[in-house]
Amino acid sequence: MASRSVNKVILVGNLGRDAETKFTPGGTAVTKFAVATSRRWKDKQSGEWKEETDWTNITLWQAENLANYLLKGKQVYVEGRIHTRSYDDKDGKKVYATEVIADEVILLGGQGAGGGGGRGGDEYAQQAPVSMPRSAQGASRQQAPQDDYPQGITDDDVPF
């Protein structure tokens, strides 16, 4: 009997920095960002509340249009798989990097870049979530009209 395995990650957290999109030599978009997830608990001995934050690096392939919305502080839902890769650093030492390869990213609204803690006063709280599922990414990339760039910005203006 063949063994089964599952590699699935679901995160809901806030972006720690604006997403950055670069392109492979073949023209494939690679968007990277970090998501902070926190947990709180009450220490049994001291009675004090403690908090722990974990940072997870996310890689999203073929979604160049979504990076414009992935801004520091925004709350996101990320679904994907864990991937660990290794490389040799400049000193020849093997380095391991673990990240989540995202299959789906949904903007939840949540906290703004300078915003407060809840959804109540957030300007995005009344908007529906924005999603970019894998099935729609290829179609949106092919159908993007040139006038999607606001105020005359062209591909030549992108710094990378």
Render pLDDT for 60-78 as a digit per residue (tens, 0 to 9).
Answer: 998 878 888 999 999 999 9
Question: Domain range spanning residue 74?
Answer: 9-38+49-145
Asked if residue 44 belongs to a domain, the reply is: no
pTM over 0.85: no
Q: Does residue 17 surpass a pLDDT of 70?
A: yes
> Residue 34's pLDDT band (boundaries 50, 70, 90)?
very high
DSSP letters along the chain, please? --------EEEEEEESS--EEEE-TTS-EEEEEEEEEEEEEE-TTT--EEEEEEEEEEEEES-TTGGGT--TT-EEEEEEEEEEEEEE-TTS-EEEEEEEEEEEEEEEE---TT--SSSTT-TTTTSPPEE--HHHHHHHHHH--GGGSGGG--GGG---
- What per-residue confidence (pLDDT) applies to 20? 93
Place of tokens 């992108």: 158
Q: Does residue 1 surpass a pLDDT of 90?
A: no
Query: Residue 26 maps to which CATH number?
Result: 2.40.50.140
Tally of domains within the chain: 1
- What per-residue confidence (pLDDT) applies to 66? 83
